[in-house]
Structure 1
Amino acid sequence: MKTFTIGAAAALALGATCAQAQDVTLRLAHWLPPQHAVPQTGMQEWMDSITEASGGTITFEVFPAQQLGAAPDHYDMTRDGIADIGYVNPGYTAGRFPIYELTGVPFLATDGPNAAKAIHEWYAGDFAAKEMGDVHFCLVNPHEPGRFHGKSEIKVPADVKGLNVRPAHSTMARFVASLGGASVQVPAPEAREALARGTADAVTFPYEAMKIFNVAEETKFHNDMPLYLSSQVLLFNNDSYGGLSAEQKAVIDEHCTPEWSKKFSEGWADYDKGVREEILNDPEHTVYMPSDEEVALWREAAMPTLEAWKEDVSAAGGDPEAILEGLRAALDANGVLYK
């Protein structure tokens, strides 16, 4: 005679109930190439888990590589129902999400997956409702800390002066400007072309982008100092989420948690570490690790970016010190605060 735990029995009951719900296919739009680590790992695992947990009543149709619209438009596409689910980089729309832009300030977090969990815990409550209330907030997905990669060596902040840099997001654009560089604002899939044409001299990217976007063909010099995060979010159209059955909503809710933000981000982090090792061992590339004194210069150079963020949040009616302390506390609790 077989026995079941309470958890297993509840899961079977939920599956049986979901099996009676109306089948739904959710359109998920993202701007990454299909072969990117995110759609190949965390995103696929997340979709498969939802389909299984819903008894097959929730399935997905994926539109990659900006098929439904440009990368900066994915928030509005999700809000307006062009997509049921959107993979969004909030930093592509400068000033629109001033609280969330804190996640891109340099020297906050030391890894991606645990930062994903921390950022989710910090942002998902009042902040998400305040800044992203016209969509349904689900997950956070940062990459491993990004670095500077250039056509020439970038060792200290002064080396950025006079360079044209493709920044990861609006916060890094502000940082580049504070160092005397100029920003070349293009989405990640267009960065290699900007470098090849000479429009850009350098980029801020995680290591994995060197491979997936073929940026390593144009940038042979790498500063190995972990610098910043670019934290994407996964969002639902409110009507799409609201139109699900109660049981289907429960399945989605179980997959929109801090723990799933971490899980969703792990495959990307593993891929990034692998590409870093490849570049470290490639004689065609020069990888530089700043000294402690040089890191101190970088950290000092990042302070105006943090202060500018504080001014933006104050202007929007927020308490920047309390917001900053809240994120730092969440990162520290998850063991990834940059100290």
Structure 2
Amino acid sequence: MKLVNIALAAALASGLATTVSAEVLRFSSFEPPVAHVTKNILTPWAAEVNAASGGELDIQIFPGGTLGRNPAQQLKLVEDGVADIAWVIPGYTPGRFDEGTVAELPFLVPNSTVGSEAMWKLSQSGLLEGDYANFKLIGVMASYPNGLASTVEITEPGALKGQNIRAPGPVMLSAIQSLEAVPVGGITGPTLAESISRGLIAGTFTQFGAIETFRVGDVISHYVDLPLGATPMLIVMNKAKYDGLSEQAKAAIDQYSGAAFSERFGKSFDQNVAEARERILGENEITLLEPDAALTAKWQEAMSVATEDWIAQTENGQAIYDAFKAAIDEAAAAN
């Protein structure tokens, strides 16, 4: 009888062990599953964290707006617990992460690798207040800088006067206004090509990765290749969800987050933009303008008021700008 009881206890223990399941974390992406960021950055990141957790985590990617289609709603999905983690474009939620919009200033971020490294460093400086502290920050990044894609020929900055131009963030919209164009907000990536084809806008601040992802190459005819401002980006996690995880699960997330995530993101993003640029220009009839030093100086002068206004209108604006510029210079020297 004693042997039977021991065997039964062992069987029960074994059964209980097999019913313990990993903590499922839902990771929302508004991009299609085959788009670069989702396929080549977010999905591998989730797999590596899952492996590092020793079976305690099962991070599942929900791409293509499965949990919520609107890119502007991704932050709310995390706040409401619909998603545990999400890729967020702060420019779609004005007023929440205002200090980080420094990355949108023209002629500041040279590429995503440098910009993302500098953004993470800035996030650790104590200068970013807003809603940053309300989330577990997986990554704080910046896109490759946006040029100007349009349906009309634009060379001089004065040619933008009166044109409806879209941008993905409030500071870039301010920069558009400084050029006497009509700034148009509220148009997200998935609706961009339709907005251009319907004539709602004559152009947009964007980069070649987004042009490819959202099929904008079919509807534009010109591109001005200047660093007119990067798009700040975040990967955020519901803080209460993170706080409730085991120490091993937290350690796995931390191992691949922060500076490590920003570095992963920036290098991959830059490589994709370079490859997408070659594909887009090869497959579409787009006139590419790469301004010389004299013309670049004209654009810089015309858009300098956007930087001046941002510093003046942002609390601690000068300190944030100086810290970010120093981080940019440091990262550029190291890469």
Q: Does the TM-score normalized on the shorter chain lie above 0.5?
A: yes
Identity %: 26
Cα distance in 2 between the residues matched to 1:25 and 1:129: 30
Q: CA deviation at 1:51?
A: 1.0
The residue aligned with 1:321 is 318
Per mean C-alpha deviation after superposition, the further-off stretch among 194-203 and 151-160 is 151-160
Q: How does 1:163-312 map to 2 (within 5 A)?
A: 163-185=163-185, 186-281=187-282, 284-312=285-313
The residue aligned with 1:333 is 330
Per mean C-alpha deviation after superposition, the further-off stretch among 207-216 and 66-75 is 66-75
Q: Is the 8 Å Cα contact of residues 118 and 334 (structure 1) preserved in structure 2?
A: yes
Q: Is the 8 Å Cα contact of residues 79 and 134 (structure 1) preserved in structure 2?
A: no
Q: Is the 8 Å Cα contact of residues 109 and 331 (structure 1) preserved in structure 2?
A: yes
Q: Is the 8 Å Cα contact of residues 146 and 230 (structure 2) preserved in structure 1?
A: yes
Amino acid at match of 2:246: S
Q: Which runs of 5+ in 2 are unaligned?
A: 1-17
Amino acid at match of 1:134: N
Cα distance in 1 between the residues matched to 2:228 and 2:320: 20
- Given the two structures, how large is their TM-score scaled by the length of structure 1? 0.87
Cα distance in 1 between the residues matched to 2:321 and 2:128: 15
Paired residue secondary structure (2:285): coil
Paired residue secondary structure (2:140): strand
Q: CA deviation at 1:336?
A: 6.8
The residue aligned with 2:98 is 98
Cα distance in 1 between the residues matched to 2:159 and 2:101: 25
Q: CA deviation at 1:311?
A: 2.8
Amino acid at match of 2:235: L
- Given the two structures, how large is their TM-score scaled by the length of structure 2? 0.88
Q: Is the 8 Å Cα contact of residues 136 and 236 (structure 1) preserved in structure 2?
A: yes
Q: Is the 8 Å Cα contact of residues 139 and 233 (structure 1) preserved in structure 2?
A: yes
Q: Is the 8 Å Cα contact of residues 116 and 262 (structure 1) preserved in structure 2?
A: yes
Q: CA deviation at 1:60?
A: 1.8
- Largest Rg, 1 or 2: 2
The residue aligned with 2:138 is 138
The residue aligned with 2:74 is 74
Q: Is the 8 Å Cα contact of residues 46 and 264 (structure 1) preserved in structure 2?
A: no
Amino acid at match of 2:150: G
Question: How many residues align structurally?
Answer: 315
The residue aligned with 2:9 is none
Q: How does 1:9-88 map to 2 (within 5 A)?
A: 23-69=22-68, 70-88=70-88
RMSD: 2.1
Paired residue secondary structure (1:290): coil
Paired residue secondary structure (2:314): helix
Paired residue secondary structure (2:165): strand
Paired residue secondary structure (2:236): strand
Q: Is the 8 Å Cα contact of residues 313 and 320 (structure 1) preserved in structure 2?
A: yes
Q: Is the 8 Å Cα contact of residues 154 and 160 (structure 1) preserved in structure 2?
A: yes
Q: Tell me: CA distance 1:234–1:82, structure 2 relative to 1, closer, same or farther (3 Å).
A: same
Q: CA deviation at 1:129?
A: 5.4
Q: Which runs of 5+ in 1 are unaligned?
A: 1-18
Q: Tell me: CA distance 1:311–1:65, structure 2 relative to 1, closer, same or farther (3 Å).
A: farther
Cα distance in 2 between the residues matched to 1:165 and 1:236: 33
Describe the superposition over 1:219-272 as per-residue Cα deviations: whole angstroms up to 9, x where unpaired. Answer: 011112232211210001011101110111111111112132111232222121
Q: CA deviation at 1:143?
A: 2.2
Paired residue secondary structure (2:110): coil
Amino acid at match of 1:68: L
Q: Tell me: CA distance 1:46–1:152, structure 2 relative to 1, closer, same or farther (3 Å).
A: same
Q: Is the 8 Å Cα contact of residues 33 and 64 (structure 1) preserved in structure 2?
A: yes
Paired residue secondary structure (1:87): strand
